[in-house]
Amino acid sequence: MRVLIPGIAGGIARKLALRLHEAGHQVAGVDIRPWEEARELGIEVFRGDVRKRAAEDVFRRWRPEAVVHMATVTAFTVPGAERGRINLDGTKAVFDHCAAHGVKHVLFVGRHTFYGAAPDSPLYHSDDEPPRALESIPELADLVAADLYAATALWRLPKVTTAILRLPYTLGQPGTGTLASFLKGRRVPLVLGYDPLFHVLQEEDVVAALMLALQKELRGIFNVAGPPPIPLSVIVRETGRMGVPLPAPVLRMLLGRGGFPKLSVGALDHLRFPIVVDNRRFLEATGFEYQYSVADILRLYRESAPVPRG
Amino acid sequence: MSQSESLEARVERLELPFNEFGVDPYGISKRHVRQALQMFALLYRYYFRVRCFGIEHIPARGRGMLVGNHSGGVAVDGAMVLTSTMLEMDPPRLAQGMVERFLHNFPVSSLWASRTGQFTGLPEHAKRLLEDDRLLMIFPEGARGTAKLYPQRYSLVDFGTGFIRLALQTRSPIIPFAFLGGGAAIPTVFNARALGKLLGVPYVPITPYLLPLPLPVQLEIHYGEPLVFQGTGDEEDHVIEGYVAKVKARIAGLIERGRAERHDRRSGRRLLP
């Protein structure tokens, strides 16, 4: 199978590309970021923006059969309006090209934060739930919009088998990603009086889940999760960090100062309320079994991102 | 339970799928359940001197819904029912309440409710927990039930109907119970709704001594035989309302029987208020 991965230079995308290549698939990618060693590894990377004309040429000339769209970004990596353009316009471009150039299968790799964090939400979000509490976390709006737009392909593009996958936070080795960045420092802020559950998944398990989704030619919307969720305080403790519980108004003032990570004010809700997903539909469709327990994941993270000294 | 068995041992015997960190897939934490039980057990045994009848009607395993009356202006009833299933059952079970939404809005209460398995009363929660063979605790009177004033302490207000549809959908037995004494422990004379709105709660119960602090009144819990209804949960409203009326009548019967038995036991002695 010929698999094209927009956003291939990201950590998980690289692992997926290598795994697909090892499994005998032809793999290429599009990214504005470099991946110098890719060619030596037998993977073709086209440098460029997925929204630009050159990217369409890749679809036209390379003729992928499957596309794994991973070229979306979070507020942690790209601030402001540009993030919205990458996430929304980029997703539209990918689906337009898939429809125009005969791609049979598309995976949209979304995030479980789609559902939002709110006190009156169900603890386990089913795949069919709408996003909530967007007004409190506006930084999620463009990712949610991209996810919803991708889902329109399910009826707009009946010839393209589309799967929307909502993945939890990745953690472990090599210690990158939204949650990993949040945990980087010695002290990790917590909201006093709250301790939300968090889902974590090791990168190797993420790759395994994506491989299964491709292999099973999934169609529809699927929550992906591994081990059951655990309280944020356990994650902080087991990764060797020191949790600093502060009242929400105090924490709001301290974000980005005194060694605390820079977070949006809206993201504080996520430090109070859980975002946990019901992954039964994905398990039934793919038979996915995670390999890394929570203890494994936290140990790997602690080893790969040790507590900063001093 | 034998008084010698430690509360810690009771928590250890809970048949819940705790992971290596002592947390189950819903976030219930052994540590928090143990600490909550240590406080509730003191209240249960020594402050309220709770008498529990009919605990054998609660299934030792598998799904079930404890459905009863609210008694008292704050959640003393829920806390003592939870304690009764932890202390009186063998093996112990954790009753998981379907609580008011406001509880999860506040710091500390949100954390403790979550870690002890007391979730917001949403159909999604109830259905999932029952499908996982958990024991639910439901007060179908809702906030209207806790708002009962002292003179109405043995009456029942309107029941919601959602719990019957859930019982039918999940084929869960309903274990009715009567809770006696809560209305005397917290003798509400007035519900300050404006103050409640200010604080983000439905109301604040006002007692003759102002604060809704419970008095050391003996409490009783009477569990009745399980009720099992047949159906799909898609029945017409009038069918569901018929089932609700049956549950309500059974709870009313348990309240009356409990009051009569208590009267007989204590005749000649000081009556409970």
Task: Report, at the CATH architecture level, how domain B7-266 is classified.
Answer: 3-Layer(aba) Sandwich (3.40)
- Do A269 and A133 contact (CB within 8 A), yes or no? yes
Whether B57 has its CB under 8 Å from any CB of chain A: the answer is no
Task: Give the closest of A122, A193, A238 to B110, CB-based.
Answer: A193
From chain A, the residues in CB contact with B26 under 8 A are: 123
Among A302, A276, A301, smallest CA distance to A177 is for: A301
Task: Give the closest of A193, A231, A247 to B27, CB-based.
Answer: A231
pLDDT at A161 over 80: yes
User: Which carries the bigger pLDDT value, residue A132 or residue A264?
Assistant: A132
Q: For position A256, what pLDDT does the model report?
A: 76
For A21-35, how does the pLDDT look when each residue is reduced to its tens digit (9 = 90+)?
999 999 999 999 999
Q: For position B268, what pLDDT does the model report?
A: 57
Torsion of the alpha carbons at B94, B99, B101 and B107, rounded to the nearest 10: -50
Kind of pairing between the strands at B220-223 and A197-198 = unpaired
Distance in angstroms between the alpha carbons of the first and the last residue of chain A: 50
Q: For position A263, what pLDDT does the model report?
A: 73
Q: For position A266, what pLDDT does the model report?
A: 66
For A52-94, how does the pLDDT look when each residue is reduced to its tens digit (9 = 90+)?
888 999 999 999 999 999 998 876 666 677 788 888 999 999 9
- Do A165 and A210 contact (CB within 8 A), yes or no? yes
- Mean residue pLDDT of chain B comes to 92
Query: How far is it, in rounded angstroms, from Cα B30 to Cα A243?
Result: 20
pTM given for the model: 0.91
Whether B41 has its CB under 8 Å from any CB of chain A: the answer is no
Name the pLDDT band for A274 (thresholds 50, 70, 90): very high
Site of tokens 């995976």: A107
For B64-115, how does the pLDDT look when each residue is reduced to its tens digit (9 = 90+)?
999 999 988 788 999 999 999 999 999 999 999 999 888 888 999 999 999 9
Is the CA virtual torsion B252, B258, B261, B265 positive or negative? negative
What domains can be seen in chain A, in order of their start residue? 2-171+200-227+275-289 (3.40.50.720)
Name the pLDDT band for B264 (thresholds 50, 70, 90): confident
Q: For position B267, what pLDDT does the model report?
A: 74
> Smallest CA–CA separation between B218 and chain A, in Å?
32
H or E segment and range at residue B51: strand B51-53
Torsion of the alpha carbons at A265, A268, A274 and A275, rounded to the nearest 10: 30
Of A164-178, A235-249, B148-162, which gets the smallest average pLDDT? A164-178
Q: Assess whether the previous peptide bond of A174 is cis (omega < 30° from 0).
A: yes
What DSSP character marks residue B266? H
User: Which carries the bigger pLDDT value, residue B147 or residue A106?
Assistant: A106
- Do A263 and A254 contact (CB within 8 A), yes or no? no
Q: For position B178, what pLDDT does the model report?
A: 97
pLDDT at A136 over 90: no
Task: Give the closest of A123, A231, A247 to B119, CB-based.
Answer: A123
Q: For position B74, what pLDDT does the model report?
A: 82
pLDDT at B183 over 80: yes
- Do A49 and A55 contact (CB within 8 A), yes or no? yes
Q: For position A84, what pLDDT does the model report?
A: 80
Q: Secondary structure of chain A: what % helix, strand, coil (to 5)? A: 40, 20, 40
What is the rounded average pLDDT of the residues A157-172?
Answer: 94
From chain B, the residues in CB contact with A231 under 8 A are: 23, 27, 29, 115
Question: Is the complex ipTM higher than 0.85?
Answer: yes
Residue of B nearest to A129 (CA): B124
- Mean residue pLDDT of chain A comes to 91
For B40-63, how does the pLDDT look when each residue is reduced to its tens digit (9 = 90+)?
999 999 999 999 999 999 999 999
Q: Do A124 and B124 make contact, defined as CB atoms within 8 angstroms?
A: yes
Q: For position A77, what pLDDT does the model report?
A: 67
H or E segment and range at residue A223: strand A220-223
* Residue A236 backbone phi and psi in degrees, to 5: -65, -45
Name the pLDDT band for A193 (thresholds 50, 70, 90): very high
pLDDT at A257 over 70: yes
Neighbours of B225 (CB within 10 A): 13
* Opening angle at CA A21, ends A280 and A4, nearest 5: 75
For B221-244, how does the pLDDT look when each residue is reduced to its tens digit (9 = 90+)?
999 999 999 999 999 999 999 999
> Smallest CA–CA separation between B41 and chain A, in Å?
23
User: Which carries the bigger pLDDT value, residue A222 or residue A304?
Assistant: A222
pLDDT at A151 over 60: yes
Among A110, A167, A114, A169, smallest CA distance to A137 is for: A114
H or E segment and range at residue A155: helix A141-156
Query: Domain spans of chain B?
Result: 7-266
% of chain A at pLDDT higher than 90: 69
Q: For position B241, what pLDDT does the model report?
A: 96
H or E segment and range at residue B87: helix B76-87
Q: For position B51, what pLDDT does the model report?
A: 96
Whether B172 has its CB under 8 Å from any CB of chain A: the answer is no
Task: Give the closest of B26, B101, B110 to A194, CB-based.
Answer: B110
Q: For position A78, what pLDDT does the model report?
A: 67
- Do A114 and A144 contact (CB within 8 A), yes or no? yes
pLDDT at A20 over 60: yes
pLDDT at A254 over 90: no
Of A104-118, A166-180, A267-281, B166-180, which gets the smallest average pLDDT? A166-180
Q: Do A193 and B105 make contact, defined as CB atoms within 8 angstroms?
A: no
